[in-house]
Homo-oligomer: A and B are copies of this chain.
Amino acid sequence: MKRLLIITSLFFAMTSFIQDKPKKIVFFGDSITQAGVQPKGYITQFGQMLEQKGLKDKYELVGAGIGGNKIYDLYLRLEDDVLSKKPDIVFVYVGVNDVWHKATSGTGTDPDKFERFYQALINKIKANNITLILCTPAAIGEKNDASNQQDGDLNQYSKIIRNLASKNNLALCDLRKEFQDYNSKNNPENKEKGILTTDRVHLNDLGNQFVAEKMLPLIIK
């Protein structure tokens, strides 16, 4: 009798322990994600949204963004900056520099190699039983008439990411599409920045909020 009691309480304790342990979410990306942990950053706002829903203790949020990173940089530091932290969920948000650096330093990423490294990254993360969510790169310029210099290329790399999500059965946060839809409605003067970004690429406060809002439903259904 006594033994049963002990076992039962142990069971409850374990359950309780399991329930209490927050799920760890790593946001893995470039300078946009690096800025995401700032006071108005998208990771910070993501946390505040969880708090408003009373879910603050259920999740632990970790920013793992480094400025200038391309897909192969993420691949190279995956072990140290993501896997070693044993996350439950990883958002991968990359692609802007793979496209942009073609023009600004001649060091972008070929589309076929972008796909190959991204698939290799997915393989390694999935092998660790981590829930993986892929994000498309939102914008390099906010003009809504398809005349930002890198629009075609960003669309191409976004398609690669959509295909990877589909092929690997992964959730997709299609920020590229969301930004395009938003700008087509909310950028009547066809400005190249200042709607959701400060400088065509990096998020302003509203942009950070917008990204957090698009990511949240992929975590809490």
Contacts and interface: CB of A to CB of B under 8 A. Distances in A.
A48 interface: no
B107 A107 contact: yes
A116 B159 contact: no
Main secondary structure of the interface of A (DSSP, over half): helix
Specify how many copies of this chain sit in the oligomer.
4
A174 to B, nearest CB: 14
Interface string A144-160: 01111111111110010
A108 B72 CA distance: 13
A21 interface: no
Contacts of A104: 104-105
A218 interface: no
Contacts of A149: 152-153, 156
Contact of A152 (B107, B109, B147): B147
A117 interface: yes
A152 B150 CA distance: 6
Contacts of A103: 102, 105-106
A73 interface: yes
Interface string A60-91: 00000000000011011000000000000000
A151 to B, nearest CB: 3
A120 interface: yes
Contacts of A108: 106-107
A152 to B, nearest CB: 3
Contacts of A141: 152
Nearest to A110: B107
